[in-house]
A and B are shown apart, each in its own frame.
Chain A
Amino acid sequence: MKERICQQQERKTVMMGCWMLNESVSVILALLWLGVNLYLFIDTFRWYGEEESFFYTRVILGSTLAWARASAVCLNFNCMLILLPISRNLISFIRGASICCRGPWRRQLDKNLKFHKLVAYGIAINATIHIAAHLCNLERYHLSQSAEAEGLLAALSKLGDTPNESYINPIRTPHTNTTTELLSTIAGITGLLISLALILIMTSSTEFIRQISYELFWYTHHMFIIFFISLSIHGAGRIVRGQTPESLLLHNVTFCRDHYAEWQAAARCPVPQFSGKEPSAWKWVLGPVVLYACERVIRFWRFQQEVVITKVVSHPSGVLELHMKKRNFKMAPGQYVLLQCPSISSLEWHPFTLTSAPQEDFFSVHIRTAGDWTRALHTAFEAEGQTIKEPRSLPRLAVDGPFGAALTDVFHYPVSVCIAAGIGVTPFAALLKSIWYKCCESQTQLKLSKAIHIALHWDENTDVITGLKQKTFYGRPNWNNEFRQIAYHHPSSSIGVFSCGPKALSKTLQRMCRLYSSADPRGVHFYYNKESF
């Protein structure tokens, strides 16, 4: 009994170690991101907490000044990062260009959407801190300007009334309320717009909404345009004010703060002068915004290019196969393209995996009816009926891509295991065809010595896509047995595991990869790669 418990503990430690090894790069990157955020936050917090030029501002606002500014810097950082993971062309470029950064680093590029969500959560948290802090700030400015304010507070708030003075308190009159003040400043109005845009984007991006209506998610997400424009002009009002360097030389804060009654008169303490900090958010986000704008321009340009549809096949289970040709189109197996059909919707681009091999003179996609757009596409190609359409009367399609996906790494492993479920067989169709072509060309030497393909069919009517003679296992495999066998037959290999299918399958496979990877670096290792849209 004790031995059994000991064995179980040992197994758990080994599993933990393997998991850490496999996931370590993602964890490192996430921690790096968190570290930069914390560093920026703490550094800015301390600066605003100790900086002399903001001494008088701190007298009015207290510590909430530092909270607001620190979270603002983190917001700038995260808003800079948020557009990068969804610039598909940039990611494909990095993937293609990085010859040195193979393996675990390249795999991180597959997790771009996860990173996008992580940064979004960062924006949400920092926005909450920022808004709460500025609410307190506005309230304190208002109280300092009211009749009950005394002493240094009152003296500071009165600054700016006469022509030679510059103000420190943006609220200039006691007969107002904070709401009116907010709505009469650029910062206030843009802040409200930014917050509303962010909230609407986030509520329409929950997993549930994405599943039931991808279009709502996609259209509402375009409020990011309002977000970035408002963000760029958010600081234009220069409300957060600190003492000017010239004023600091003449006006010694440590001494003069107790002699505020004498500021107007004495030469020792001339009236302090203040100026607002110039807006900096635009400097942070300009680069990524330009990159993303280029990304959209590239998509538009690719949209203009002619796509010739050479073959349309309608499969019984609601799957539409399209063969197309486009000039200068080069692909690798496992990549995907974005399709647009202007006659259905001029704004929507939908991702589909390429099912043809690069060696063929056309490229193909298999599209399953899964929602509004795909159903409309089927109707447009009259896939339901028996009538044959004239080639010219077929709706025009635009293609953007191809974009990289996990399967381009299949050829880098000596052994690869590909597991597909339902329409998830599409990326592997391209892969198997490509392997077939490569093996037919006797000159090319493949690093890949064995490809194991397991296809799961839950539809009774699903056709075999590739036309190759292959055995498919019907029903759910016993993964433990499968992985044990594969590990046994390839004892010291790196095995790439690729899957395309539902989340449950993905989780099971990830667990199997961790379980059956050996702790010994020379032993068998399973590396899990997943593709999902």
Chain B
Amino acid sequence: MGQIEWAMWANEQALASGLILITGGIVATAGQFTQWYFGAYSIAAGVFICLLEYPRGKRKKGSTMERCGQKYMTKVVKLFGPFSRNYYVRAILHLGLSVPAGFLLATILGTACLAISSGIYLLAATRGEQWTPIESKPKERPQVGATIKQPPSNPPPRPPAEARKKLSEEEEVATGVSSGPQENPIPVTDEVV
């Protein structure tokens, strides 16, 4: 469990909490429950959280799968600088946003989920994680001169360069790691397409 980036899970959890807050808020407002104005707050808070959490942060190692169309929100979230980068800020923000929704039953599940998400963000922050925007790199134009290499000398089918070197060094040795080359009981045909 050591390598996991907690912020990634916190992000999924926060996004889910946002949607749950919106749903709970709609139920409370449409049903005109007692203290339904907390429901209206929940909808607003839910929308804000969804917009904030939609752009996924970049992983420290490896490639990150972007969410569909997230580059527009990435630009907006980037504008907040350290407030969006720092996960302590997010943890406190989510905790703060979750409290008013706790006063209404319809949104209490959203509160619980958002509080859990805040906890995971806190854990991520203590481990030094940060939100880095995923930016598309400008496409490098391949330099035409550099890609032309020496054309191959032998006709196809040909194994790659390394195998050719290996074959020339050790022609009799087996290519496998078990007991050596085995005779084929049925002919293995080569179908060149």
Contacts and interface: CB of A to CB of B under 8 A. Distances in A.
B78 interface: no
A474 B4 contact: no
A13 interface: no
Interface string B76-111: 000000000000000000000000000111101100
A464 B176 contact: yes
Given A178-B105, A477-B193, A203 B9 contact: yes
Contact of B8 (A207, A209, A313, A473): A209
Interface in B134-170: 157, 159-160, 162
B21 interface: no
B2 A372 contact: yes
A142 B34 contact: yes
A200 to B, nearest CB: 7
B31 A440 contact: no
Nearest to A484: B193
A465 interface: yes
A392 to B, nearest CB: 24
A192 B16 CA distance: 16
Contacts of A372: 1-3
Interface string A210-234: 0111011001000000000000000
A478 B192 CA distance: 12
B23 A128 contact: yes
A289 B31 CA distance: 38
B176 A467 contact: yes
B184 A469 contact: yes
Given A204-B9, A463-B177, A192 B112 contact: yes
Interface residues of A, number: 57
Interface size bracket, B side: 35 or more
A50 interface: no
Contact of B62 (A138, A212, A452, A478): A212
A467 B109 contact: no
B182 A463 contact: no
A63 interface: no
A196 interface: yes
Interface string B15-36: 0100010011001100101100
Contacts of A1: none
A474 B191 contact: no
A439 B177 contact: no
A485 B192 CA distance: 10
A206 to B, nearest CB: 6
Given A202-B16, A372-B2, A465 B176 contact: yes
B65 interface: yes
A208 interface: yes
B128 interface: no
A468 interface: yes
A131 interface: yes
A264 interface: no
Contact of B31 (A139, A209, A464, A470): A139
A503 interface: no
Contacts of B186: 439
Interface string B176-193: 111111101110101101
Contacts of B176: 463-468
Nearest to A449: B186
A409 interface: no
A262 to B, nearest CB: 32
Nearest to A313: B177
Given A128-B23, A138-B105, A471 B190 contact: yes
Contacts of A315: 177
Contact of B16 (A199, A213, A464, A468): A199
A212 B12 contact: no
A216 B23 CA distance: 27
A311 B185 CA distance: 27
A52 interface: no
B12 A209 contact: yes
A474 B13 CA distance: 43
B59 interface: yes
Interface string A103-140: 00000000000000000000000001001100110110
- Output the residue of B23, B180, B186 with the most chain A CB within 10 A: B186
Interface string A176-213: 01110010000000001001100110111011110111
Given A131-B109, A467-B182, 11 more contacts: A192-B109, A196-B109, A204-B9, A212-B5, A315-B177, A372-B1, A466-B176, A467-B175, A467-B176, A467-B178, A471-B190
Interface of A: 128, 131-132, 135-136, 138-139, 142-143, 177-179, 182, 192, 195-196, 199-200, 202-204, 206-209, 211-213, 215-216, 219, 313, 315, 321, 371-372, 436, 439-440, 452, 460, 463-471, 473-474, 477-478, 481-482, 485
Interface of B: 1-5, 8-9, 12-13, 16, 20, 23-24, 27-28, 31, 33-34, 56, 59, 62, 65, 103-106, 108-109, 112-113, 116, 157, 159-160, 162, 174-182, 184-186, 188, 190-191, 193
What 7 pairs between A and B have smallest CB-CB spacing?
A: A467-B176, A213-B4, A178-B105, A203-B12, A439-B185, A467-B178, A203-B13
21 contacts: A135-B27, A139-B33, A139-B34, A143-B34, A178-B34, A206-B12, A208-B65, A212-B4, A315-B177, A371-B3, A436-B185, A440-B185, A460-B162, A464-B175, A466-B176, A467-B174, A467-B181, A470-B188, A471-B188, A474-B160, A481-B193
